[in-house]
Each structure stands twice: as structure tokens, then as C-alpha cells.
Amino acid sequence: MVLTLLIALCWTPQTQAAVANNAAEFTISPVYPAEQQAGNTGYFSLAVHPASTVPVKVKITNTNQHQAVTYRLKVGNATTNPDGSINYANFKAKKDPTAQYQLTDFIDHAKRGQKITVPANSDRTVTVNLRLPAHAFSGIVAGGVYVERLTNGANQQSGNFQTQNRFAMTLPILVTEHPHAKRIAKMQLAQVKVQKGQIAARLHNVRPVLFGKLTIHARITKVHQTKALVKKTVTNYQVAPNSAFDFVVTDPKQPLNAGHYTLTMSLQSGKRQWHFSRAFTVTASQAAPLTKRTGWLGLPLLLWLIGGGLILIILALVAVILKQRKKLSQQ
């Protein structure tokens, strides 16, 4: 059996150093163009002009002393993960309907993915050109350059398992035409989803603004009641421009029965606040997964199965003992 480990190091814009990992045996670092506005930050922060071309260069250093290594370089778009982190190189997500542009709109389709082989103990620089549209855009367009090591190192054998290490790293890219403009985020509660036994709030940043330090307070009550059945608070979430994510409110230990409920949410980042309230319904069929998952009286179903099995074994032993005693008494 082969167990593949993929380590993706996605640097947030606070990073001050080149992305590196000793086990990966390679590093990546930005080669800043003239459009770089934030100095040596460890990521690309570009102030650009319409109808211009900006070279985004990434230096890949192979620190393996004996082996040439092949890497794949791809460009992706920034999205927000459910845990409140930003994925700067998402290749699958569809373009958000509120976004004027996404980063891959600025790159020729054929150049979005490249392969390069770097000799042992050497470095090579790969260039991806951003071709800005003639029409101006507002806010920030965010994404990243993703570099994956394709040449595998030595496999590790442990019993029946063979571990094959794979490594990937990402450098964020932030692009704006108005670096000094004041940007105000706007969050919306798009919908409340009941699926797979969970209640999730679909939160949507509808503006081209990247921001962080987001605190979310959520509570669920019965309709027209004030007693909270579920409470959840998180802090330090980051949100990508023009992106949506599912914020899971419920806890598996606090299942909701079929009925009518109200979700109330308060969000705050700096001085900006948003307040939402939305009624939703949990049907009997939607509540079923919760019951199956938690079992009777809120205990996991597996515990009930184990407990039931132990009781049957004990009853069988008691029956055998009583039968043996009856035989002995008849002799």
C-alpha cells in the first residue's frame, strides 16, 4: 500500500521570508518586478496599470545535492476555506459572480501550468506574465503561484506501508490598480444550508477586498424563542476578495430535531460590523442523518452497538452457567 503525503505551504500576506521546507529539499522565492509596492514581503503585492504586462518571476532552488528535480508550476485564484484561511491557489472553484476579474483572467491559458527541471544544488527562475486588461478594475484581485515537486525522493518502507512524500508550496499574488484607495468589505448571508446532518451559513464577501481579523458569533434558537440551542464563536478568520465559504454552526454533540429555527449572526472586522438573522427549517429527512450519527440519547451509535454486544455476551454466559448448575443439581 502506498501512502502519499502532500504538504502544501500557503503563505499568508504577513510572511516575511521565502517559502522553504527542509524535507522538501527545495525553496521558492519571489523575484520582484518594478510594480512591487510592499517591499521584500515574501509575496507579490503589485500596483499595476491597465493594458500593461507584468512579469511574475519565481525562483525555484533545488537543495538536493545529488539529484535533478522536476517541478510543476501552476497559477490559481484565491478562495476562502471553511476554516477561515485563504487558499491562494484554487484551480477548481468557479469564478465568483460578483468578481469583475480573477487572477487567471490575466494569464494565457497555455501558460497557467509549466514544468521545469532544476539540476542538483542549483536554481532556476520561471516567469509568468500578467496581461492586464484595457478596462480598469477596482479593489484587489488575488491568487497565487503553486509549485509542486514532481520527482519523488527516497520512499520510506514501514511494515506493509510505503510512504511517498510529495511537497507543494504557494506564493500569494495580490494585484491592484488603486493601491491607496480605501476599501470597505461587504459580507452577506447568502443562505442557510441543512445537509449531511449539519447547519451551515453560506457567507459571501461580495466586494474585491481582502481582509482578516474577522470574528463571528452565531447562535440558533427555536423560532420566536430566545434560548440558544447552539452557540459558536470564532476569531481571526481571513476572507479572500469576492469569495464565499460555508461556516458550519452546529456541533455533532448538539443535533437539531426536525422543526423551525432562527440563525442569528454577528460579524466584526475592525470597526466594520454585519448582523444577520435568517429563519430555516429542518425536515424529518434532514434530521435523520443527525439521529443516525449520534444514536439514542445523543450517544454515538457505535457505543450502543458495542454496549449491546457486551450485554448479549453477558446474558449468554449467564445462561450457560445456569444450565450447568441445573445439570449438576439433577445428578
Kindly state the DSSP code that residue 29 receives in the 8-state scheme: E
Question: What are 256's three cell numbers?
Answer: 437539531
Helix (H) or strand (E) holding 77: strand 69-80
**What amino acid is encoded at 127 in this protein?**
T
- The answer to whether 207 and 183 have CB atoms below 8 angstroms apart is yes
Residue range 85-107: mean pLDDT, rounded: 95
- Coil vs helix vs strand at 16: coil
Q: Can you give the pLDDT at residue 159?
A: 56
- The percent of residues in the chain predicted with pLDDT above 90, rounded, is 64
pLDDT in tens, 153-191: 655 555 555 556 779 999 999 999 999 888 899 999 999
> What predicted TM-score, i.e. pTM, was given to this entire model?
0.79
Give the β-pairing of 211-222 and 44-47: unpaired
Question: What are 160's three cell numbers?
Answer: 506493509
pLDDT-based confidence at residue 284 (cuts at 50, 70, 90): confident
pLDDT-based confidence at residue 311 (cuts at 50, 70, 90): confident
pLDDT, mean over the chain: 85
pLDDT-based confidence at residue 136 (cuts at 50, 70, 90): very high
Q: Can you give the pLDDT at residue 9?
A: 42
Q: Rounded to an integer, what is the distance from CA 63 to the centroid of its chain?
A: 29
Q: Can you give the pLDDT at residue 8?
A: 42
pLDDT above 70 for 295: no
Give the β-pairing of 113-118 and 69-80: antiparallel
pLDDT above 80 for 244: yes
Q: Can you give the pLDDT at residue 285?
A: 84
**Residue 293 vs residue 285, higher pLDDT:** 285
Q: Is 39 left (phi over 0), alpha (psi -120 to 50) or beta?
A: left
Kindly state the DSSP code that residue 25 receives in the 8-state scheme: T
pLDDT-based confidence at residue 17 (cuts at 50, 70, 90): very low
Q: Can you give the pLDDT at residue 85?
A: 97
- Coil vs helix vs strand at 230: strand
pLDDT above 80 for 315: yes
Residue range 12-30: mean pLDDT, rounded: 68
- The answer to whether 105 and 131 have CB atoms below 8 angstroms apart is no
Q: Can you give the pLDDT at residue 16?
A: 34
Q: Can you give the pLDDT at residue 131?
A: 96
Burial class (CB in 10 A: 0-12, 13-18, 19+), 86: buried
pLDDT-based confidence at residue 13 (cuts at 50, 70, 90): low
Separation between Cα atoms, residue 92 and residue 23, nearest integer Å = 28
Separation between Cα atoms, residue 222 and residue 219, nearest integer Å = 10
Separation between Cα atoms, residue 174 and residue 76, nearest integer Å = 12
